Structure 1
Amino acid sequence: MSTGARPGGTSTARRSDGADPRRWKALTVCLVAGFMTLLDVSIVNVALPSIRAGLHAPQSDLQWVVSGYALTFGLVLVPAGRFGDMRGRRNAFVFGVALFTLASAAAGVAQNSTWLVVARLVQGVAGGVINPQVSGLIQQLFRGAERGRAFGLLGATIGISTAIGPLLGGLLIHLGGGQEGWRLVFYVNVPIGILAVVLAYRYIPHRTREERRRESMDPVGVLLLAAGVVLVLLPLVEGQEWQGGGKWLPPAAGVVVIAAFAGWEHLYGRRRDPVVNLSLFSRRSYALGALIAALYFAGFTAIFFVLTLYLQDGLHYSALAAGLASTPFAAGSAATSVLGGPVVTRFGRPLVVLGLVLVSVGLAATELAVRLVPGPQVAWAIAVPLLVAGLGSGLVISPNQTLTLSEVPVAEAGTAGGVLQTGQRIGTAVGIAGIGSVFFAGVASSHGDYALAFRHALLVTIGFVLVALAVALADVAADRRARRNRAAAR
């Protein structure tokens, strides 16, 4: 075993198997920061009425408080992952956390809605810098079964942060009051961010100058990808604010730009290291896993969006009561995420199939519960179905993430994680836009029947989950064929 010490007395001695002794503490710091950034995707939804009251914000600015974060978050994921792969993940992580903390403080003291929107855009950039470093560091610091356990904890973090956001947001608004409570939603990030920066320098290993790669950042590839992502996401995150058929021209142009990006990466890859190595998608585990993630996130995150609207706008629940309604999903997801990560290496993609089946059954039961109990007691009626869906979700997110990144070289872990999460962000935007449109159209056509609109939105959500299930089943079938072919070749 080699020995050594960092300034300040923290040992950097590695075990005989090469594992960094600080890896679990480093992971804890990463997960706390990742939880903070992903929480801000959903926590703001229940704060919108408080923001409207406190800042007299127009609906267009409220839309950008939510969508601007998602847009800039998705925009920087891949280049930030690339930068971390090349120049070291600790510095990129610390920069992202520091920027996120400052942006959160700025959002908390916002004096008007324009100020708040700008702060949210910066928050999104910071979140996009942080998250690919987390998955990259897991690839870097963990091996074998430990990596599955680490990804299980990451999956639990993703699932819980998204599901518990409305509850925590409702609690903070309840404590702070209807006019100013929304500020606590942002202030809560500040002490967490400061602590994360301090602990990151202590526990996350840094890359020596000799270990840093000197390749170009592939600026043309970065710009093409950024333009493509913006064109695809912009009309989706604008949602109901962008009316008319013209809103679908940018996504079509975005697909063309992304195709040009793929062509550029192919040519650039002949001479130098591209920002996205397209050979990643030649690995079936990565290609199908990324598709499953995008499809699942299209349905998964939209659940809480339409559920919050149904409970707050349709049934006049308080922000806290609406948040409490999502707790069963969060509890179920937490339980199985921690369990699913370590055992996925034993069961493989069939574990994800089981999770998707449970989610589908749970959401179908939720639709039935709302049909039977559409009134104020609906939160109790949907508690058990949402618990079942949450148990399934925990068997989807973390196991799928582990399988998707399992064959990715460590040197490309940040970029691969960035591409995976970009797909998730696009899936989220597509889901919220599509499912949200069905919900709002249902409210309008039924003259305010929120229960009916919510049920229609749930059916679309189930559709996304079933398509993800079909992809997972195709992967299982392909894996079995490959095993039979290998056995026959012996």
Structure 2
Amino acid sequence: MTMDKAGPTADKRRWQALWVCLTTGFMTLLDSSIVNVALPSMERGLGADTADLSWVVSGYALTFGLALVPAGRLGDLRGRRTVFLFGLALFTLASAACGLASGAGWLVFFRLSQGVASGILAPQTTGLIQQMFRGTERARAFGMLGSVVGLSTAIGPPAGGLLIHLFGTDDGWRWVFYVNLPIGVAAFCAALRLLPRTPPAPGRREGMDLPGVLLLGTGVLALMLPLVQEQQWTGRLKWALLPVAAVLLAGFWAWERWQGWWGRAPLLDLRLFAQRSFSLGVLLNLVYFAGFTTLFFVYTLFLQNGVGYSALAAGFSSLPFACGSAIGAAVSGRLVVRHGRKLVVAGLGVVALGLLTAIAAVQLVPGRGVAWAAALPLLVAGLGSGVTISPNTTLTLASVPVRRAGAAGGVLVTAQRIGSAAGIAAVGAVYFAHLANHGSPATALQLGLLTAVGIVVVALALAVADLRERQAEPLSPVPSATRPEEEPDPAA
């Protein structure tokens, strides 16, 4: 099935294929947060120690980030449908293996495999959206993807808490993984029937840039390890990995330029960064995710450890943000073609306002009523988040040629993962330092959220500066008759 054929049947199948991608994306992103409330259950039922539990959470984020760009490029080269199906099968099997794990070591190993599978799937989703849709339809599709990102990030804690409540603290953690099995099998069967094949690229068949994969992988690993292990690795020696990461990533950049100079196919076409919309969008993604994802980390810790909420109650307290994010992403997906980067500026401003109001709510309504007082501010912040993520994704990838869409999408999501890890490390350090020195959970939360607001304001300043230099232009739809493989390469 090709997506360039006209007619209502082809149009219907495109949207059905999108729902397969969104369902899979929801499942994999949910898995990054659903396990957080299941950690005590793993400790009790499996005898896992603190180091094991740390790797269950951080190992997933680490392998997720490592796989993104190589997997995106592989999808560009060998077909996004094929790579998507492989990633989905791997994720489903790894989920089953996690649930069946007989020891903590096996659980960590299969959890790392889950992260790799998620990293394989994510860039195929953005690449398939680029391939299947154009213009306003593409913006609407990315709006739906933004809703999925917001919902899956926030709904994980209450979903995990509910499963632990239903299946008990000894074995409830296994159902956190088993829940993926029926979804994964159904999505795989639907993907076989609905996902389009990637049209073959003209000219000679390109190969995979293995030295580029090695340099990028080791660079990202050296960058993310001290961030995701910030609380577990004591001492300052871990930060020595950051200059190592800088050297490796600089080497990757030089190697990719060398590849381009000699006319060889690079892992990542660096000419993409010459596009202002792409480079700014990636930077905004990195900075914004460093700010907003920390909310769930410190807020649920505060509610459980500082106020005495159960895991289930703490999880449900984040739902207002999720609902607002889903609504904001869906609405902004229809408006981004008209308003462009102005929407991102507005969204970031609303997020900052919502978080500041939440800080005031924690101050004014202490005790067990704090979640009710913070519900409306979190709803507002969620609306702003949806209006930020979805338009920024659309604008960042708007000028990326379809044949590079997988690798470009991998870069965008890698920025999200690095930003999230850095933000949690920074905000977590503020939160735990105040808690250790002063013992006031409410003040620790307020300081942590103020740090998150500061990061969001940095993203806002970047977006405003761009808007002042260049008024946001409407996104011009690509004519429907244009085939994906004929799309001009603006980076050329």
Q: Compute the TM-score of the two structures, normalised by the length of structure 1.
A: 0.94
Tell me the residue number matched to 1:183: 174
Instruction: Tell me what 2:72 maps to.
Output: 81
The answer as to 2:381 corresponding to 1:389 is yes
Identity among equivalent positions (%) equals 57
Contact 1:151 1:398 in 2 (8 A): yes
Matching residue within 321, 324, 339 for 1:332: 324
Structure 1 residues 18-27 or 264-273, which shifts more? 18-27
Partners of 2:469 and 2:200 in 1: CA distance: 43
Quick check: 66-75 or 341-350, which moved more? 341-350
Per the TM alignment, residue 437 of structure 1 is displaced from its structure 2 partner at its CA by: 1.3
Deviations 1:98-156 (A, max 9, x none): 00000111111122211111111000000000000000000000011000000000111
Greater Cα offset, 340-349 or 472-481: 472-481
Equivalent positions of 1:338-487 (< 5 A) are: 338-447=330-439, 449-480=440-471
Q: Which residue of 1 aligns with 2:489?
A: none
2:395 is paired with a residue of what secondary structure?
helix
Partner of 1:260: 251
In the TM superposition, 1:241-256 aligns within 5 A as: 241-256=232-247
Aligned counterpart in structure 1 of residue 105 of structure 2, from 91, 97, 114: 114
Aligned residue number for residue 170 of structure 1: 161
* 1:417-439 deviation digits (Å, cap 9, x = unpaired): 00111111000110111111111
Q: For 2:202 and 2:361, how far apart are their aligned partners in 1?
A: 57
Aligned AA (1:188):
V
Residue aligning to 1:488: none
Contact 1:19 1:142 in 2 (8 A): no
- State which of 236, 239, 260 in structure 1 corresponds to 2:230: 239
Following the alignment from structure 2 to structure 1, what is the Cα–Cα distance between the partners of residues 14 and 418?
31
Counterpart CA distance in 2 for 1:294 and 1:398 is 14
Secondary structure of 2:230's partner?
A: helix
Q: CA deviation at 1:272?
A: 1.0
Q: Distance in 2 between matches of 1:97 and 1:349?
A: 34
Q: CA deviation at 1:18?
A: 12
Would you say 1:295 and 2:291 are equivalent positions? no
How much has 1:12 moved relative to structure 2?
Answer: 7.9
Q: Structure 2 counterpart of 1:249, which letter?
A: A
Q: Return the offset for 1:198.
A: 0.6
Counterpart of 1:393, as a letter, is S
Q: Could you tell me which amino acid in structure 1 is paired with residue 138 of structure 2?
A: R
2:260 is matched with 269
Equivalent pair of 1:355/1:391 in contact (CA under 8 Å):
yes
1:285 and 2:269 equivalent?
A: no
**Structure 1 runs not aligned, ≥5 long:** 1-5, 484-490
Task: String of CA shifts for 1:6-35, please: whole Å, max 9, x gaps.
Answer: 7xxxx9892069965521011000000011
CA contact (8 A) 1:332 1:394 kept: yes
Q: Distance in 2 between matches of 1:34 and 1:211?
A: 30
One-letter identity of the residue aligned with 2:341: R
In 2: Cα distance, 1:18 partner to 1:144 partner: 20
Query: Is the contact made by 2:3 and 2:14 (CA closer than 8 Å) also made in structure 1?
Result: no
- In the alignment, the residues of structure 2 paired with residue 36 and residue 211 of structure 1 have an alpha-carbon distance, to the nearest angstrom, of 35
Greater shift, 47-56 or 454-463, is seen at: 47-56
3-state SS in 2 of match to 1:102: helix
Shift of 1:209: 6.2
Query: Could you tell me how far apart the structure 1 residues matched to 2:149 and 2:4 are?
Result: 31
Aligned residue runs from structure 1 range 68-107, under 5 A: 68-107=59-98
Distance 1:55 1:120 in 2: 14
State how far apart, in whole Å, the 2-side matches of 1:60 and 1:212 are.
Answer: 50
CA positional deviation for 1:84: 0.4
Match of 1:56 in 2: 47
Measured after TM superposition, the shift of residue 374 of structure 1 is 2.6
Does structure 2 retain, via aligned residues, the 8 Å contact 1:104–1:189?
yes
Q: Is the 8 A contact 1:12 1:21 kept in 2?
A: no
Count of matched residue pairs? 473
Q: 1:58-85, CA deviations, whole angstroms, 9 ceiling, x for partnerless residues?
A: 1111111000000000001000000000
In 2, the alpha carbon distance for the partners of 1:439 and 1:316 equals 17
Pair 1:13–1:247, CA change in 2 (3 A): closer
CA apart distance, 1:316: 2.1
What letter is aligned with 1:336? G
TM-score of the superposed pair, with normalisation by structure 2: 0.93
Q: Which of 19, 22, 25 pairs up with 2:16? A: 25
Comparing 32-41 and 106-115, the one that deviates more: 106-115
Alpha-carbon distance in structure 1 between the residues aligned to 2:162 and 2:9: 44
Corresponding residue for residue 479 of structure 2: none
User: Equivalents in 2 of 1:417, 1:28: separation in Å?
Assistant: 18
Structure 1 distance, partners of 2:460, 2:354, is 14
Structure 2 distance, partners of 1:81, 1:19, is: 25
Alpha-carbon distance between aligned partners in 2 of 1:34 and 1:426, rounded to the nearest angstrom: 18
**Structure 1 pair 308–481 and aligned structure 2 pair: CA distance change class (3 A):** closer
Q: CA deviation at 1:251?
A: 1.5
Q: Distance in 2 between matches of 1:28 and 1:17?
A: 17
CA–CA distance in structure 2, aligned partners of residues 226 and 347 of structure 1:
37
Q: Tell whether the 8 Å contact from 1:438 to 1:457 is kept in structure 2 after alignment.
A: yes
CA pair 91-228 structure 1, distance change in 2 beyond 3 A: same
Amino acid in structure 2 at the alignment position of 1:215: E
Q: Is the 8 A contact 2:341 2:472 kept in 1?
A: no
Tell me, which stretches of 5 or more residues in structure 2 are unaligned?
Answer: 475-492
Taking the aligned partners of 2:151 and 2:283, their CA distance within structure 1 comes to 22
* Cα displacement string for residues 237-285 of structure 1 (whole angstroms, at most 9, x for unaligned residues): 1121111111111012101110111011001112212111111111111
Structure 1 residue 480, shift from structure 2 partner: 2.6
Q: CA separation of 1:251/1:395 partners in 2, compared to 1, >3 Å: closer, same or farther?
A: same
